[in-house]
Each structure stands twice: as structure tokens, then as C-alpha cells.
Amino acid sequence: MDGTEKAQREEASCVTRTDFIGDLTRAASFLTVGLFPAGGLPALHPNSRSLGAFVSNIFKRTPPGGETPAPPSAGASRRAVAATAAVASVVLLAAGCGGDDEGKRSPQGGAAAPAAPAATAKLPQATTYTDIKGIPQDPAPFADSDGTVVHPTAAVSVSASPGGPPVATLPVTQLGGPTWVPVVETKAGWLRVLLPSRPNRATGWIPSGGGLQTARSSHVVKVDLSARRLTLLDAGRTAGTWSVAVGAAKTPTPTGRTFMLASLAPAKKTPSPLILPVGAHSATLDTFGGGPGTVAFHGWPTSSVFGRAVTHGCVRVPPDALKRLSRVPLGTPVLITD
């Protein structure tokens, strides 16, 4: 069997299992989440890559007076790294990894009081593994956003409408790293965010009060399926563009806006040293290789696939593109168009 065929068979199962306990250093280092300044919001240095550095440098929401509060203490950073180490393993399906055949106010106004823990405990978590019922779709799936992203410091309830009853919870972490989701709409006391769950383009409303950290990514990742091209923008300027492989006709890459969900370093580096899942899923495969059909950016050992529609939904990218994407903040918008 030649190298390409072997890589295709390895990728066809595409279940990436990362053992965080066995290698804490690696687990921290592959979380590339540096946030870049825009609109006065605080930011991480671009070269900061560890989860500890991320948490210790991220700032809480800027208060109405405009003052920037101090960052969390070093103790908070250490606790975040310890929490990462406590995650035994992550199993993620990257769906495109096949071979070439492939405070309390009224509902009308601001935020409602958080639901009681007993009530939210029975709700599904909004993760890549769940299918959230009764959740609204993105009203503008191809619109630009301002790059605002939020991180819940504790699990937050998700409602289908501002002030409505909770239908899910948004957890603090996703796939072993911190949860960061983009804000696509705001109303008094509420934020509409993109969710990583099925169905694709799922959104939910979360209270905008305490318990959220806010930052802004200056990046946007654009994938043009017809041109089979990926473009990385930074502050509106092109930072890189690459020919990529996209979903085949029977297993297309889903369109619309989504976001960078996580960064995973598989123990086996073939076919890709990094898997960068997004908050979208295959529209034709409910499961794949034992996982939930999550779409991801990842590398490929041969360049002959680039410029072709040959995957099960994922986007295969060249080594330089993968390296650049790994430095893009979590929660950064990803816009996929036909």
C-alpha cells in the first residue's frame, strides 16, 4: 500500500483521541487561542499559545464606564491548566476525513435570572455531540460579524428567544479547551451566539450579564467551495490564501457562518498533526467513524488533493495554512460559501 492510500485509510476512521493526562505540556500548547485587539477590547499577544497564557491574559467584559478591569489572577490561570489536565481524553470525528471517494428583568427587556441548577442539570449541553431541539437558526448565515466572542466562566443557560425558558446550557469547555462562541446579534440584556451543536447554523440567546468574558478576534476565515480556496483575513486584510480540498458532491462541506471551535493534537500525526474542528457538521453523515460528523480543517500528506472536491465534508489544507489557522483565536468566525 502506498503512502497516500495508507493515509486515506487512517483518516477514514478519523477518530482523533488526545490523551491530556499523559502529556499536559502538549495538551496546553496545542490550544492556540491568542486574541487580537480591535475596538479597544483587550487581547493576547499573538505568540501566546498555552491555555494558561490564554486565561491569564484574557480580560473580563469592559464595564459601561469604559474602564478595563484587571485580568484574572495567576491562580485562575493555574486552575485552568489543572482543569485541562483533568480531562482524560477527547474523541472527535472530523467528518471530512475520508478518502478521495468520498440581573432579573422582564422578557421584553433585559436578562432574566439564571435558571435554577436543578432545572438546567436536565438540559442538554450545547456541544459538538448534541442535537438541540427547538433552537433558532442563524437569521443571516452569510453576514459578516464584528468579531465579538464570549466565554462563559460558568455554564450558562441558552434560550430560544430573549427571556425565554432555557432549552440548553453552554458549558465552560469544548473538547478540552475553553468555550468561545461568536456573538451575531444583541438585544437589551441578551446576546445571540452561534452554537457548536446540530442542527447546522444553530443559535441561542444567553444573558449578557456577569459570568461572561468578552474579547474580539480581528480574524475571519473564508472558504469558497466553488473556487476551492481558503482565505484568512486579519483586520480586513488578506493574511493568506490557499487552494484546499472540500467536500465531494455526495458529502458536501456545509455552507454558512460557523466558528473555530477547538484545536486538537492527535497522537498519530498522519494524516495531520493538528485537527481544527469548527461548529458545523456534515449534512449527509449523522455519524462517521464513531463520532458526530464534526467538520474540521486539517492537513493532508499529498498536495494532489488541493483544488478538488474529494472529502467527506472537512476542508483539507496545506501545511502553511494549517499553521496559520492554528494561530487564529477560538471563536473566530468562519464563513463558508458556494
CA–CA gap between residue 127 and residue 93 (Å, rounded)? 13
CA–CA gap between residue 84 and residue 129 (Å, rounded)? 19
Residue ranges with strand state E in 95-236 = 148-152, 156-159, 166-170, 173-174, 177-178, 181-187, 190-194, 203-207, 212-216, 219-224, 229-234
Omega within 30 of 0 (cis) for the link into 199: yes
How many Cβ atoms sit within 10 Å of the Cβ of residue 303?
A: 12
Task: Report, as residue numbers or ranges, the catalytic residues.
Answer: 298, 314
Residue 272: all three cell numbers together: 495531520
Residue ranges with strand state E in 229-274 = 229-234, 237-243, 246-247, 256-259
CA–CA gap between residue 199 and residue 267 (Å, rounded)? 30
Residue entry with cell 491568542: 34
Are 138 and 203 contacting, i.e. CB atoms less than 8 angstroms apart? yes
Instruction: Give the angle 11-15-17 at the CA atoms, nearest 5°.
Output: 120
